[in-house]
């Protein structure tokens, strides 16, 4: 009788787990992957993909408004939330089936059930089956975190429920100031909802470049979104179908939905990690791993949001692929988490890669800033009151571009390509030597020749 039933058991059928299972199977490993809910995980089922579909839908009202300046007369239009949600659900179901089919085609076995550790090599499935595996990969992702309990917390929805609301909220209060809070604020505002954002910090998008934070807030407020900073929701009362949220600043806000998007926590509970001896990182609450995603138990690995390192889908996929290549492909692959591009699909959207101005000034003695804001060409005729922001951060000693930050239409698409240049250590001279493509917004990235600010950090005496 074989010592192990399988070579690899993957807990979690999200983007990272599926990639790891598929590549490991293609390397010849016997693979099982368990998913208790739906294949595709956060990104496909209740995250990036449905969110972006809703962003597209909500942005259409801008196009309709802008059309008049270009000579179009559009009759009165109407929007039907249930139709959008039904069409979104069809696309998610298609993607879920594709994820399942692709991993099975590679030779892995998919089991639609929960799996927990019974010991370091044994997984107990909800069906009662026990599986002994030589290696185990934990890819259980993360989940919304509502924070400390407050009176009325049972009335709060998360982004998970927002994708399945039976009707569009007329008024919604969203607590949070990060990716998810701002994206949903702009989605609902685009559909005509009255939106209020409440955030405990001094400004939204903590951790992003300060100019980006200020610009995004200004643009959102132009669109009629109310942003209240420096306060939190302390309690929520229900009155029939409506709610009253009482804030820490003494004010109260009425709405027919209250959504919290104040962070996500790693899915580490009730996995039996203590039975397997898997350690938790006390700093972030995720599974502690080394540079190769190996946990405190040599044959147990963890990737993606459950490690709480860099919670982005492409990072989880890269980590899953690297794990499979390292363990089953006979070649060590280390994932570089530096200069990872990211986007916030608020409206206008944000694209960023590399260091913020604050980070660069702390790291380098001489920093040059190239920054411009301008009215997009389309807005000159549409009449829309909006401006784009583009910002390059340069280590003046080496002339290397160490950060790029864009706010405006197409920001994410631009930053994906700029990310290549930053990764390749391109210099400002390389940007300057690149011919502009006219007329585009992106040409500003290669035509900002004069610094808008220069910073020199004096050495401590």
d(CA 374, CA 136): 52
Sequence-distant contacts of 428-434: CB under 8 A, at least 24 apart: 428/368, 428/370, 428/392, 428/394, 428/399, 428/400, 428/401, 429/399, 430/401, 431/392, 431/401
Measure the CA angle with vertex 204, ends 368 and 199; round to 5°.
155
d(CA 379, CA 49): 28
Q: Is 27 exposed, middle or buried (0-12, 13-18, 19+ CB in 10 A)?
A: middle
* Diameter over CA atoms, the chain: 77
Strand partners, 153: none
Are the C-beta atoms of residues 264 and 310 closer than 8 Å to each other?
no
Are the C-beta atoms of residues 327 and 421 closer than 8 Å to each other?
no
Q: Which two tokens stand for residue 289?
A: 């791993």
**Residue 7: alpha-carbon gap to chain centroid:** 32
Residue 26's alpha-carbon distances to 20, 123, 164, 278, 303, in angstroms, are 10, 23, 36, 27, 19
d(CA 115, CA 86): 31
Are the C-beta atoms of residues 177 and 199 closer than 8 Å to each other?
yes
Secondary structure (DSSP) of 223-290: TT-EEEES--EEEEEEETTEEEEEETTS-EEEESEEEE-S-EEE--TTS-HHHHTPPB-TTTSSBP--
At residue 167, φ and ψ (nearest 5 deg) are -145, 160
Check 62, 155, 308, 438 and give the catalytic one: 438
321 has catalytic annotation: no
d(CA 314, CA 21): 16
Kindly calculate the radius of gyration of the chain based on its CA atoms and give it in whole angstroms.
24
Q: Which residues does the annotation mark as catalytic?
A: 438
């Amino acid at each position: 009788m074989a010592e192990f039933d399988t070579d690899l058991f993957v807990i979690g059928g999200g983007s990272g787990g599926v990639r790891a299972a598929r590549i490991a199977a293609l390397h010849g490993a016997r693979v099982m992957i368990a998913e208790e809910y739906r294949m595709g995980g956060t990104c496909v089922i209740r995250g990036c993909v449905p969110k972006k579909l809703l962003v597209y839908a909500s942005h259409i009202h801008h196009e309709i408004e802008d059309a008049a300046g270009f000579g179009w007369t559009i009759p009165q239009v109407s929007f039907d939330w249930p139709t959008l949600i039904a069409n979104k659900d069809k696309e998610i179901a298609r993607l879920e089936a594709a994820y399942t089919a692709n991993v099975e085609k590679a030779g892995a076995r998919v089991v639609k059930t929960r799996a927990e550790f019974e010991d370091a090599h044994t997984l107990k499935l909800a069906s009662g089956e026990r599986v002994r595996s030589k290696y185990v990969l934990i890819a259980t992702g993360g989940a919304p975190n509502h924070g400390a309990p407050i009176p009325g917390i049972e009335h709060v929805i998360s982004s998970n429920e927002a994708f399945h609301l039976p009707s569009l909220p007329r008024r919604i209060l969203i607590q949070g100031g990060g990716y998810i809070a701002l994206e949903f604020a702009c989605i609902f505002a685009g559909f005509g909802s009255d939106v209020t954002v409440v955030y405990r910090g001094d400004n939204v998008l903590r951790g992003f470049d300060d100019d980006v934070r200020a610009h995004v807030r200004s643009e959102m407020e132009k669109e009629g979104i109310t942003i209240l900073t420096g306060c939190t929701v302390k309690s929520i009362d229900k009155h029939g179908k409506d709610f009253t949220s009482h804030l820490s600043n003494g004010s109260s806000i009425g709405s027919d939905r209250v959504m919290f998007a104040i962070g996500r926590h790693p899915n580490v509970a009730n996995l039996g990690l203590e039975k397997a001896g898997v350690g938790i990182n006390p700093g972030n609450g995720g599974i502690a791993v080394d540079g190769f995603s190996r946990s405190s138990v040599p044959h147990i690995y963890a990737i993606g949001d459950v490690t709480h390192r860099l919670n982005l889908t492409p990072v989880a996929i890269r980590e899953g692929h690297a794990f499979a290549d390292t363990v089953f492909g006979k070649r060590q692959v280390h994932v570089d988490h530096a200069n990872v591009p990211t986007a916030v699909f608020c409206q206008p959207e944000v694209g960023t890669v590399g260091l913020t101005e604050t980070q660069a000034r702390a790291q380098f003695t001489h920093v040059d800033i190239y920054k411009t804001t301008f009215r997009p060409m389309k807005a000159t005729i549409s009449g829309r009151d909006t401006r784009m922001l583009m910002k390059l951060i340069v280590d003046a000693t080496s002339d290397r571009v160490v950060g790029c930050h864009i706010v405006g239409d197409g920001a994410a698409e631009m930053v994906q390509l700029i990310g290549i240049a930053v990764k390749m250590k391109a210099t400002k001279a390389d940007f300057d030597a690149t011919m502009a493509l006219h007329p585009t917004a992106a040409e500003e990235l290669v035509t900002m020749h004069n610094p808008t600010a220069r910073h020199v950090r004096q050495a401590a005496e």
